[in-house]
């Protein structure tokens, strides 16, 4: 049950980020965007960090405890989310925070984040399809 709840929370969060937050960044002037981005990244990290860690722990547990194809696939998808996050999204946020082409970085976040949005959506779908209740 906790896995589905956390997966659902993260999929809602990523869709809100993709459809509202990141596109909203593109409407700010560079200096305003830099100030907003600091507030946003500090606040979102407090929420997303623990959720991602809990999600990873639950997916590993389910994979080890219940060898089912949905658990294996969801864990693989989750690994891709983490790779994408730390290889692409975090460096782009760091560029934005440093003021390196902030408006271009904001627009690139919108494009780049689609793959993460799809991956996290698929993780949630696999969680729903998993036959295990725990």
Query: Helix, strand or coil for residue 43?
Result: helix
Q: Is the residue at 118 inside a domain? A: yes
Q: Is the residue at 30 inside a domain? A: yes
Q: Hey, what are 17's tokens?
A: 């980020």
CB 70 within 8 A of CB 130: yes
Q: Which domain holds residue 96?
A: 2-129
Q: Is the residue at 39 inside a domain? A: yes
Provide the number of structural domains found in the chain.
1
Please, what's the largest Cα pairwise distance for the chain? 50
What pTM was estimated for this model as a whole? 0.89
Q: Is the residue at 8 inside a domain? A: yes
| C-alpha 27: how far from chain center | 22
- Give the pLDDT confidence of 47-56 residue by residue, as tens digits: 999 999 999 9
Q: Is the residue at 134 inside a domain? A: no
Question: Using CA atoms, how far apart are residues 70 and 76, in angstroms rounded to an integer?
Answer: 10
- The count of other CB atoms within 10 Å of the CB of residue 45 is 12
**What pLDDT does residue 133 have?**
55
**What pLDDT does residue 18 have?**
96
Q: Is the residue at 36 inside a domain? A: yes
- Give the pLDDT confidence of 40-89 residue by residue, as tens digits: 999 999 999 999 999 999 999 999 998 889 899 999 999 999 999 999 99
Q: Is the residue at 46 inside a domain? A: yes
**What pLDDT does residue 132 have?**
65
């Amino acid at each position: 049950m906790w896995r589905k709840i956390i997966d659902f929370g993260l999929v809602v969060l990523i869709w809100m980020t993709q459809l509202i937050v990141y596109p909203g960044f593109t409407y700010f002037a560079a200096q305003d965007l830099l100030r907003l981005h600091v507030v946003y990244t500090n606040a979102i990290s407090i929420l997303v960090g623990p959720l991602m860690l809990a999600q990873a722990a639950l997916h590993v547990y389910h994979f080890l405890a219940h060898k089912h194809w949905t658990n294996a696939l969801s864990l693989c998808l989750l690994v891709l989310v983490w790779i994408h996050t730390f290889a692409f999204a975090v460096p782009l946020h760091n560029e934005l925070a440093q003021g390196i082409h902030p408006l271009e970085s904001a627009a690139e976040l919108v494009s780049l984040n689609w793959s993460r949005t799809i991956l996290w959506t698929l993780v949630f779908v696999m969680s729903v399809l998993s036959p295990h209740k725990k």
